Amino acid sequence: MKICMAGVGAFASKHLDALKSIDGVEVSMLVGRREENTAPLAEKYNIPNWTVSYEEALASPEVDAVILTTPTQVHAAQGLQAMDAGKHVLIEIPMADSLADSQALVEKQKETGLVAMVGHTRRFNPSHQWIHNKISAGELKIQQMDVQTYFFRRTNTNAQGNPRSWTDHLLWHHACHTVDLFQYQTGEVASEVQAMQGPIHPELGIAMDMSIGLKVPSGALCTLSLSFNNDGPFGTYFRYICDKGTYIARYDDLVDGKENPIDVSKVDVSMNGIELCDREFISAIQEKREPNASVAQCLQAMQTLDRLEKAML
């Protein structure tokens, strides 16, 4: 299977590293916006073709599917373009920064029948898979998810600390991880939502702090704190307060409430959530089925984000 990687930032490299571990896959094309960033990355990963034209990449017979790691603001348009060109597409989270654009992607997938998936990596991290398996087996029930998503980004930089040409968003990007995961783990859609945001940054034009609360019909709560102002380690930490134990997930790792490690190495074929996400995308194409984290499945999270945005107006 020939994959086009669109985007040359931090997450493009994460996907390129992950794809090395998957048999039967070749990254045949790399797309960037500037030659000086694109050519060196293509050389580093031995990608035979590169271009600064997304349209040229989509027209290539050397491309079966596309992974989009481009700026959030163009995810929806580029996802639609990929499907119009007959290419399967994996869109890094979020699929869009509005409900209307998310719905357009879902309709286009239905129209074309192609695999269209979102990079909701938390569904695939072994730590969260372990919790999900326990819930599915009836061994755990969530009382509350307490989540902290903290970064120190008072300037427009990416995860590698390099200047970014587009602006990130706490709600539509970072909160999307938690909103989707909470609804996925509980198997319910939030029936009550509340949200507050702090002051708008005078240059970036976004809120730098945010507080979100969710409740599902069964009564489980999600409390989410987000900040670009936290002067400390980057990342998101999930505390699952359950009826039988407390668990803390830090990306692919899991500990109990007393910080005792839990072995999740046998949960899946890899300990890398991004690799597992990419494996699901490729398997769904090969098996001609809907993937976990399809655009249709993830639409519920976007609907909840839309409600949260309206709550902050």
| pLDDT band at residue 259 using 50, 70 and 90 as cut-offs | very high
Supply the mean pLDDT for the chain.
95
Kindly report the backbone phi and psi dihedral angles of residue 94, in degrees, each rounded to the nearest multiple of 5, phi listed first.
Answer: -90, 160
Contact (Cβ atoms closer than 8 angstroms) between residue 189 and residue 177:
no
- Distance (Å, whole) CA 126 – CA 129: 5
Q: Which region holds residue 189: left if phi is over 0, alpha if psi is between -120 and 50, else beta?
A: beta
pLDDT for res 164: 60
| Residue scoring higher pLDDT (206 or 209) | 209
Three-state SS at 86: coil
pLDDT for res 162: 67
Percent of the chain beyond pLDDT 90?
A: 90
pLDDT for res 136: 98
What is the tens place of the pLDDT at every residue in 118-153?
999 999 999 999 999 999 999 999 999 999 999 887
Please tell me whether the overall predicted TM-score, pTM, comes out greater than 0.75 for this model. yes
Walk across the sheet containing 65-68 and list its strands.
Answer: 49-51, 26-31, 2-6, 65-68, 88-92, 116-119
| Residue scoring higher pLDDT (164 or 235) | 235
- Residue 256 predicted with pLDDT over 70: yes
pLDDT for res 202: 87
- Distance (Å, whole) CA 307 – CA 300: 11
Residues across the chain: 313
**Domains, the chain, ordered by start:** 2-120+274-292 (3.40.50.720), 122-269+300-311 (3.30.360.10)
Cα→Cα distances 250→92, 127, 145, 207, Å: 20, 8, 13, 25
- Distance (Å, whole) CA 251 – CA 263: 14
- Distance (Å, whole) CA 239 – CA 225: 12
pLDDT for res 84: 98
Greatest CA separation found in the chain?
54
What does DSSP assign to residue 154? S
pLDDT for res 158: 59
